[in-house]
Homo-oligomer: A and B are copies of this chain.
Amino acid sequence: MTEKTYHHGDLRTALVHAGRRILERDGLVALTLRACAREAGVSHAAPQHHFRNLAELVAAIAASGFDNFVTALDASAAGAGDADAKLQAMGIAYVGFALAHPALYRIMFGIEAMQSESEAFRTARGRAWDQLLGSVVAAHGTLSADSDAVMIWSLVHGHAMLRLALCMPGESQADQMLRHALRTVSAGFDARKPE
């Protein structure tokens, strides 16, 4: 592919792919409109015709990140036993994804993508939320599923963000602490319900 023509053909998705390569290779600070344009082999102003501003490109990259995210969590749940084990496996996989793709994870939960009001981003993020909510319902019922799901999401998101920010005390035992926390949440859910 990529015989050089004036019109690229599918520059929009090419820019998203370029952005993801830059995130993995050079990190968050290197993600600029001009860098994506260079990576895609077009001029510095070409992205303007596909994204109104940087926030819109970031939102598109974040949306594509959520697709992989949902796939990874689904795969982790498929390999686990009962519903509660699936939920815990998803918690582990959640943090694993964040640690494996730190820059991508940051923009997925950054404020830029949200403020861009991109519809694709909203629906991609909604799928991740539905996935979590469904797993919580399967494991612990519908009694206060929304609150329970928000709690678990807060827990794993906070755990991941603290580690990405190098703010985790006792980083070497962090994985163990995560499992401890997930078990404690499960115990808390059960303790609340008499039988």
In the bound complex, CA of A149 to CA of B187 (Å): 17
User: In chain A between 163 and 195, which residues have their CB closer than 8 angstroms to a CB of chain B?
Assistant: 164-170, 173-174, 176-177, 180-181, 184-192
> Contact: A114 with B168, CB < 8 Å?
no
A184: chain B residues at CB < 8 Å are 148, 151, 185, 188-189, 192
Interface size on A, residues (CB 8 A): 46
As for how many copies of this chain the complex holds, the number is 2
A165 near B114: Cβ-Cβ < 8 Å: yes
Determine the chain B residues whose CB is within 8 A of the CB of A144 once the complex forms: 180
Q: Are B188 and A147 in contact (CB under 8 A)?
A: no
- Which of B114, B146, B149, B162 sits near A167, CB closer than 8 Å? B114
Main secondary structure of the interface of A (DSSP, over half): helix
Residue of B nearest to A161 (CB): B161
A142: Cβ under 8 A from any B Cβ: no
Binds B, one of A15-23, A32-40, A44-52, A152-160: A152-160
Instruction: Give CA–CA (A192, B189) in the complex, Å.
Output: 12
Contacts of A129 in B (CB 8 A): 169
Closest beta carbon of chain B to A17's beta carbon, Å: 25
By Cβ-Cβ distance, the 6 closest A-B pairs, closest first, are A158-B158, A188-B188, A154-B158, A191-B191, A157-B158, A184-B188
Between A and B, 29 residue pairs with Cβ closer than 8 Å are A110-B165, A111-B164, A115-B166, A129-B169, A144-B180, A146-B169, A146-B170, A147-B177, A147-B180, A149-B169, A150-B159, A150-B168, A150-B169, A151-B155, A151-B180, A153-B158, A154-B156, A154-B158, A156-B158, A157-B162, A158-B158, A161-B161, A185-B185, A187-B187, A187-B188, A187-B192, A188-B188, A190-B191, A191-B191
